[in-house]
Amino acid sequence: MPEPEDLKRLGARLDEARRHEAVKAQPAAASPLGIAFRFATEMVSALLVGGALGWGIDWLLGTRPVFLIVFFVLGAAAGIRLMIGAAKEINARAASASTAGAAEEDGED
């Protein structure tokens, strides 16, 4: 039958291993360059898709440039909406990382 001291040492080793795994599992903080690149990519892709759809519909129907303008504006709106969603996601990650960091510091004292 295991001794209580052996179980306490095993528990302490397990807690230490879990703390190391939790530190490794945390994603790296996004760099400002990475955030800017993500925003630019999402905006440009939304504008290109909207413009291409509008151009294609105009080409098929022969109505230049009505749908190109409409879908370009819709693409811009979609790009802005994507950027807002990405900003919320990045802020949520930063908040959870700072909360986890504060909790970890409290646990170490």
Residue at 88 is within a domain: yes
Residue at 12 is within a domain: no
Residue at 10 is within a domain: no
Residue 25: per-residue pLDDT: 62
Residue 93 has pLDDT above 50, yes or no: yes
End-to-end CA distance of the chain: 34
Residue at 65 is within a domain: yes
- Under the banding of pLDDT at 50, 70 and 90, the label for residue 99 is confident
Residue at 104 is within a domain: yes
Angle at alpha carbon of residue 24, lines to 32 and 92, rounded to 5°: 45
pTM for the model? 0.66
Q: What's the domain count of the chain?
A: 1
Residue at 8 is within a domain: no
> Which domain, by its residues, includes 35?
30-108
Residue at 6 is within a domain: no
- Under the banding of pLDDT at 50, 70 and 90, the label for residue 109 is very low
Distance CA 47, CA 49 (A): 6
Using one digit for the tens of pLDDT, what is the confidence trace for 35-84? Answer: 999 999 999 999 999 999 999 999 999 988 999 999 999 999 999 999 99
